[in-house]
A and B are shown apart, each in its own frame.
Chain A
Amino acid sequence: MAVLNYTESSRKVEEAIYDRVIPSGEGWMHELEPGQVLRIVDLEGNQAADTLFYHAEDPEDHYSAVATMLGQKNIYLSTGTVLRSESNKELLKIVADTCGRHDTLGGACSAQSNTVRYAHDTLPMHNCRDTFMLQLSKYDERYTKRDLAPNINFFMNVPVTSDGGLTFADGVSAPGRYVEVQSIVKTVALISNCPQLNNPCNAYNPTPVRVLIWDK
């Protein structure tokens, strides 16, 4: 196991300007001003918060998993990671992290990928990409499926081995662990609180996450 990068935050909950719980299986889309800090709290542990970011003034410039990994020549996200757009603009930075590692290679579950990974009869099940598309459709007609680039899986542990393997390991998260991202430009955050019921990594029990925003 690689070293985990724990960094606590000094931000106080009572000073947050926004505070709500995203129940499991639901979505959330919200604009962040430059300097604002978004905290995502894994309330019950080992929940996947599938997250995408967009440049609010240039929605076509979506978060890029590859640009983010290349920017630090490392595939895991933690404190200090700059989240970059496809055009390599700095969108946000991770400023605190009590989980220590987050995934951006595993992507989001979809009805179709569930049929491939698990069984054809999983097609009707709730999934992150449906949640993303529902949120996009409600938010702004400028956003379409074309904007669904590979995302971040906050609180997920997807180790890659030097011989080219990839596994879904037990989570390194726990109840109350959180991650904070500070917006560098005006961004839009899109979260699907993962409804996956076929994967043991959340103990087959999707749970809520909490989102808080501070002005700085």
Chain B
Amino acid sequence: MINSIWNKTIPAGGKWSGTIGKGKLVKFTALGKGANLSTIMYHANQLTERYNMPDTLKAQHTSHLTKGHVLMSDNGRVLTSIVEDSLGWHDSISGYTSRKETDEKYGITTYQELRNNWLRSGEENFAVELVRNGLGVRDIVPVLNLFSKVFCDENGDMHYVEDHCQEGATVTLRTEMDTLFIFSNTPNPLDPRNEYPSVPIQIEVFNAEPVKDDDVCVNFRPENRRAFENTWEYHTLLSDSKSVVLK
């Protein structure tokens, strides 16, 4: 077993932001059942480039995300790829909880009364971490909700699956670009339970092997390969690579 180079556990309600350079594996483990980790990704070196839900879903003809899928930026590049997944379904259509929804669903809580048990919302966690990174609430885009399953029936009605995520469920992203992650361990807005989930999520980072020709994400669909080619082009132009010859 290879040791992680970094790890962090985000408690229920917690948040974290930071840049993880390209070529890393980021493994998420649900330390309880019913977890949800709301996540937004930005290109760390060009923050106006960010995860784009519609581009990601339509290019891969999918409304759910699992192993083989890639998470694309609005510039047609791969920010991260899903290289391992024990669950088979992660959500990107149901957003994050607001302060108002949190109060309405779980009861009004205050710092004065509960100190650090004051319940947090996705809205406020994202606002704080966006501002910390020089961005703002205008930069919020549809999020990735790791560990959640939301499906649509034939009428388009959205359904949250309660028993989807079991304790110990894992999913691993591989960074294909230097990526600024913002994580908010706050409930999925469609989770019907009226008790605030108290599921910590462990994040471990490992060095990834170089992407090989038979890589599951590169070869998942022709669209994925072209998105990787756009990503490799970006890195070729940025680096002193010998493949770039100016005469």
Chain A interface (Cβ < 8 Å from any Cβ of B): 1-3, 60-62, 64-67, 69-70, 73-76, 86-88, 105-108, 110-113, 115-117, 119-120, 129, 144-150, 158, 160-168
Contacts and interface: CB of A to CB of B under 8 A. Distances in A.
B29 to A, nearest CB: 23
A164 B64 contact: yes
A166 B100 contact: no
Contact of A88 (B63, B77, B98): B98
Contact of B95 (A67, A147, A161): A67
A111 B76 CA distance: 8
Given A70-B95, A165-B61, 12 more contacts: A60-B137, A65-B53, A65-B142, A69-B93, A69-B158, A74-B157, A107-B58, A113-B55, A164-B89, A164-B151, A165-B62, A166-B61
A47 to B, nearest CB: 18
Contacts of B52: 107, 113, 150
A121 to B, nearest CB: 11
B179 interface: no
Contact of B54 (A62, A70, A106, A144): A106
6 contacts: A2-B156, A66-B95, A73-B157, A115-B230, A116-B72, A163-B151
B157 A167 contact: no
B154 A162 contact: yes
B76 A113 contact: yes
B203 interface: no
Nearest to A101: B156
Nearest to A148: B74
A40 B95 CA distance: 28
A74 B155 contact: yes
Interface stretch (B109-117, B206-214, B221-229, B239-247): B221-229
Contact of B156 (A110, A113, A150, A160): A160
A162 B76 CA distance: 27
Contact of A162 (B53, B61, B94, B153): B153
Contacts of A69: 93-94, 158
B140 interface: yes
A104 B136 CA distance: 23
B75 A112 contact: yes
Contact of B226 (A108, A116, A158): A116
B156 A74 contact: yes
B138 interface: yes
B23 interface: no
Interface in B51-100: 52-55, 57-59, 61-64, 72, 74-77, 89, 93-95, 98, 100
A162 B138 contact: no
A144 B47 CA distance: 13
B154 A146 contact: no
Q: Which of A69, A76, A147, A164 counts the most B-chain CB atoms under 10 A from its CB?
A: A164
A70 B74 CA distance: 23
A23 to B, nearest CB: 25
A106 B138 contact: no
B42 to A, nearest CB: 11
Contacts of B157: 73-74
B154 A117 contact: no
Given A75-B93, A105-B63, A146 B155 contact: no
A147 B48 CA distance: 10
B89 A107 contact: no
